[in-house]
Amino acid sequence: MDNEETGDMRVPSTDSVRVAVRVRPFSQREKSSGSQCVISMHSQSTTIRDPKDRELVRTFTFDLAYWSHDGFQKGEDGVLIPSDPSSKFAGQSDVFHDIGRGILDSAWRGYNATLLAYGQTGSGKSYSMIGFGTNKGIIPRVCEELFQAIEKQKENVEAQVMFSMLEIYNEQIRDLLSRTKAPGGLKVREDQQLGFFVAGLKWVPCGNYAQVEKLMEQGSKIRMTASTNMNASSSRSHVLVTIQFKQVFLDTALTKQSSINMVDLAGSERQKSSGSEGDRLREGSRVNLSLTSLGNVISALADSAMGKKVLHIPYRDSVLTKLLQSALGGNSRTTLIAAISPADICYEETLSTLRYAERAKKVQNKAVVNTCTLVRASRAENKLLLGSGDAGAAEHSARFLAELQLGTRVTWAHLLEQARREWEQQHAALTEEQEMVKTLPHLLNVNEDPQLTGVLKYFIHDGSCDGGRAASNAIRLQGLGISDKHVSFVNLDSRVTVAPHGKCKVIVNGVPVTNRTKLQHLDRIILGSNSAFLYIGFPSERGAEDLSRFDYDFFQLERAAAEGVSVGTFGALSPGAGQADPSILAVFQDYVKLMPMVVEANQMSEELGKGLKMELKVKNLASSDSRGYDLQKEVMVKVTKQQTREVWIWSKAKFINRKFLMEELYQRFLESGDSHVAQEDDPFWDPVEAVHLGSAHIWLQSLAHCMMLEEQVEFLNCDGLEEAVLHIRIAPCSPEGWAQGEEDMVIDPLELLGKRIDFQIHIVRCLGVKWLKEDATRGIQMGYKVYDLPNILYTKPVWNNVNPRIEETIHFAALGASLEFLNYLLTNALIVDLWGLQEGCVHLGFSQLDVLLTEEGHIMVDSKNFSSVKKVGQITSNQMPELYQKLLRSEQETELLRHVNRALREENVFLKASLENTGSTQQAQKSDNPKGASMTAQLPTATESKQKCAQQASCDAQLARALKAFYQGMSRARGRLLTLRQCRPPEDDQMLRPFVHQQSQMLKELEDLLESSLQKLKTDVAFIVKKKKEEYLLPSQQ
Reported as type and span, the H/E element at residue 640 is strand 634-641
Q: What span, in angstroms and rounded, lies between the C-alpha atoms of 986 and 236?
A: 37
Task: For residue 99, give every residue at least 6 positions away whose Cβ sits within 8 Å of its Cβ, in sequence order, or none.
Answer: 20, 64, 115, 138, 335, 337
Cβ atoms 403, 145 nearer than 8 A: no
Per the DSSP assignment, residues forming a β-bridge with 187 are 199
Q: How many CB atoms lie within 10 A of CB 819?
A: 11
**Whole-prediction pTM:** 0.72
Positive/negative CA dihedral, 713, 714, 720, 721: negative
Q: How many CB atoms lie within 10 A of CB 246?
A: 22
List, run by run, the mean pLDDT of 10-residue segments along the chain (1038 residues). 43 81 88 84 94 90 95 89 92 95 94 93 90 91 94 84 91 88 85 83 90 89 75 74 90 85 84 49 61 89 87 90 90 94 90 94 90 58 41 41 44 80 76 87 90 89 93 91 94 94 93 94 94 94 85 90 82 52 78 92 93 91 74 89 92 89 87 85 91 92 90 88 93 91 83 92 93 91 91 91 91 92 91 93 73 87 63 40 45 52 60 62 50 45 53 60 66 64 62 71 73 71 66 54
Amino acid letter at 534? Answer: L
| Listed residue (229, 153, 164, 241) closest to 200, CA to CA | 164
Q: What span, in angstroms and rounded, lies between the C-alpha atoms of 956 and 940?
A: 22
| Listed residue (353, 137, 136, 357) closest to 262, CA to CA | 137
Looking from the CA of 572 toward its CB, the CA atoms found within 13 Å total 9
Q: What span, in angstroms and rounded, lies between the C-alpha atoms of 340 and 287?
A: 22
State the pLDDT at residue 472.
Answer: 92
State the pLDDT at residue 798.
Answer: 92
Q: What span, in angstroms and rounded, lies between the C-alpha atoms of 533 and 550?
A: 10
Q: What span, in angstroms and rounded, lies between the C-alpha atoms of 691 and 723?
A: 13
Predicted confidence (pLDDT) per residue in 936-949, tens digit: 444 455 555 555 55
State the pLDDT at residue 900.
Answer: 52
Cβ atoms 300, 310 nearer than 8 A: yes
Phi, psi of 531, deg, nearest 5: -85, 105
Predicted confidence (pLDDT) per residue in 738-790, tens digit: 988 877 888 888 889 989 999 999 999 999 999 999 988 899 999 999 998 88
Reported as type and span, the H/E element at residue 792 is none
Cβ atoms 212, 163 nearer than 8 A: yes
Cβ atoms 551, 132 nearer than 8 A: no
Using DSSP's 3-state secondary structure scheme, residue 7 falls into: coil
Q: Is 764 exposed, middle or buried (0-12, 13-18, 19+ CB in 10 A)?
A: middle
Q: What span, in angstroms and rounded, lies between the C-alpha atoms of 218 and 163?
A: 13
Positive/negative CA dihedral, 345, 346, 349, 354: negative
State the pLDDT at residue 868.
Answer: 40
